């Protein structure tokens, strides 16, 4: 059966540096940066989202670099029978400010973080999805932003890079009124698998839309 992996667990009271080292993620901060806050600040409370990353009025980002082996995808599988990979970012917004969030996913042959800080500069991505909200839009409930990679040919790739960027209305520059992101989930479906099960959180990776993306159409 397919397995859903949780890429990181957001811990309120911990620093950005703590999350970066534990989960191999990177923050790019502009304006007031990315805040790590408990759930329920300006949004509906969800017991499944104990904490979140909240964005500022300038575009900030959180990038994850995930080794495919931690998802149960070995080198031979990627070379000969690559699985379907579904990336889901849980997102939300404040009712008192318009905001937008964008999600990018890319299969890669190296573990380095992106050199660019602006999501609009990506030209070699496998998939992109985005969501925006207007001021006063209800409900302020957590929802899914999803990219699905399938029918692709990517021999030699060993890493999945996930990049999410968001910003709030620039009229509000006194705090974190941009979008909020919660869990980042990666579901891997190998050939012949059907119903998903919930998997364990991925270990720290060592140093070293609807969003259905058919990459054969680009080859």
Q: For residue range 65-86, what is the model confidence (pLDDT) as tens digits? A: 999 999 999 999 999 999 999 9
Residue 70 DSSP label: G
Q: What is the pLDDT of residues 94-126, one digit of tens each?
A: 998 999 999 999 898 888 886 544 444 444 556
pLDDT of residue 199: 53
Do 5 and 67 form a contact (C-beta atoms < 8 A)?
Answer: no
Q: How many CA atoms does the CB half-sphere of 121 hold within 13 Å?
A: 5
Q: Give the model's pLDDT for residue 126.
A: 65
Is the domain spanning 3-218 CATH 2.60.120.260? The answer is: yes
Task: Find the mean pLDDT for residues 150-169.
Answer: 90
**CA-CA-CA-CA dihedral for 115, 118, 121, 122, to nearest 10:** 70
Q: How far apart are CA 111 and CA 123, in angstroms?
A: 18
Check whether 172 has a pLDDT greater than 90. no
Q: How far apart are CA 86 and CA 175, in angstroms?
A: 32
Residue 205 has pLDDT above 60, yes or no: no
Q: How confident is the model at residue 143 (pLDDT cuts 50, 70, 90)?
A: very high
- Reference 145, options 132, 160, 126; nearest CA is 132
Q: Where are the domains of the chain?
A: 3-218
In DSSP terms, 36 is beta-bridged to 53
Helices marked H in 24-110 — which ranges? 75-80
């Amino acid at each position: 059966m397919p397995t859903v992996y949780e890429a990181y667990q957001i811990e309120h009271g911990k620093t950005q540096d703590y999350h970066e080292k534990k989960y191999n993620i990177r923050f790019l901060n502009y304006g007031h940066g990315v805040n790590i806050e408990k759930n329920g600040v300006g949004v509906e409370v969800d017991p499944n989202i104990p904490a979140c990353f909240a964005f500022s009025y300038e575009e900030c980002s959180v990038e994850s670099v995930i080794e495919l082996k931690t998802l149960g995808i070995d080198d031979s599988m990627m070379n000969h029978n690559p699985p379907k990979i579904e990336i889901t970012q849980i997102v939300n917004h404040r009712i008192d400010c318009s905001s937008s969030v964008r999600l990018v996913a890319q299969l890669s042959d190296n573990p380095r973080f992106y050199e660019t800080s602006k999501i609009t500069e990506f030209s070699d991505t496998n998939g992109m999805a985005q969501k925006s909200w207007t001021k006063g839009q209800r409900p302020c409930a957590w929802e899914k932003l999803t990219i699905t990679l399938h029918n692709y040919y990517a021999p030699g790739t060993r890493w999945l890079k996930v990049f999410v960027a968001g910003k709030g209305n620039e009229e509000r520059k006194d705090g974190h009124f941009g979008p909020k992101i919660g869990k980042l989930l990666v579901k891997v479906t190998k050939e012949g698998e059907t119903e998903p099960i919930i998997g364990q959180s991925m270990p720290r990776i060592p140093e070293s839309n609807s969003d259905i993306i058919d990459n054969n159409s680009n080859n």
